Structure 1
Amino acid sequence: MEAASEAGIYARESTYLERFVQLGIASGRVLSVSFPEHAEADAANDHPLLDRIFEYLEGVTEVDFEDVQIALTVPTDQRAVLEAVRSIPYGEQVSVTALARMTPELDPEDDDDLILVRTALDENPTPLLIPDHRVRDGPSAAPPAVEQKLRSLEGL
């Protein structure tokens, strides 16, 4: 699925999260996902990806975002970590060490590689779409209250 053909900022208020879900999109790819208390003034609220996110937040079905195109503007080593996070299935969680093991060329016994994993999670530009809340002992780029609600939604 193409994320969008129109570039822009899209936002919609979530009663479940008690804040907005905001997307930044350019060239058919998602650049960012954030959870502000107030949406950008020029944000539109109608976007097919927002519809899917809200289906997920309503718990109607296990919504998968693996087909969403994301423009990862992070260093290559962080990109590899975040791509590994995308493969963690709905309702499952892994540790930072297991995520390092899942990421090509990282050694789960190397402290620097574990720091890299934590840094990539912390700087994830698209939390929820790259489900860093599924890494139980790592940071999330989403605010703590949002991370907890996402974990609760998936039974983690």
Structure 2
Amino acid sequence: MEEAGIYARAAPSLDCHVQLGAASGKLLSVSFPDQPDEGATAEHPLLDRIEAYLNGAEESFADVDVALTLPTDRRGVLETLRSVDYGESVTVAVLARTTPGLADTDEDHRLVREALADNPTPLVIPDHRVRDGPSAAPPPVEQRLRTLEGL
């Protein structure tokens, strides 16, 4: 991750921009605005990788250093989700069972759904790969990502 700042690039296949927030060498956020924030810079290595992914390259983004400022249990869900590979999907129940400290209970399913909805870095942490859970990305973006990966 490069220096702190806001980075954005048009993503025609998503009908929006992909915008990143970064600081201290870590990714803080991924969003999909119609127009990027004023002063956002288009040059960033992660934007290059995202562009390649949107053009069909299989990419996991597992090596991207993400600053997850969420409660520990929700952070655990998102860290487990990072191991779901390109083109694969899971259910909320499977994600709950495979996250350390969680189980296949209604309470843990609710926690998983809350973690997915609060995901600060959708696409990089691939919440679109959870078939029956919410995504922090807008629905049209989530559907395009799912279609791209054949899900």
Which bin holds the TM-score, normalised by the shorter protein?
over 0.9
Deviations 1:125-155 (A, max 9, x none): 0000000000000000000000000000000
**Considering only aligned residues, what root-mean-square deviation do their CA atoms show, in Å?**
0.5
1:25-82 superposed Cα distances (whole Å, 9 cap, x missing partner): 00000000000011001100000000000000011x2012000000001110000000
Paired residues, number: 151
Q: State the match for 1:138 in structure 2.
A: 133
Structure 2: gaps (5+ residues): none
Q: CA deviation at 1:12?
A: 0.3
1:126 to 117, 121, 133: 121
Percent identical pairs in the alignment equals: 63
Q: Match for 2:128: what amino acid? A: H
Describe the superposition over 1:94-136 as per-residue Cα deviations: whole angstroms up to 9, x where unpaired.
Answer: 000000011001011x211110000000000000000000000
Q: Unaligned stretches of 5+ in structure 1?
A: none
- Whole-angstrom distance in 1 between the partners of 2:86 and 2:70: 24
Partner of 2:40: 43
Q: TM-score, normalised by structure 1?
A: 0.96
The aligned residue for residue 51 of structure 2 is 54
The equivalent position to 1:66 in structure 2, one of 36, 59, 62, is 62
Give the 4+ runs in structure 1 shifted more than 3 A. none
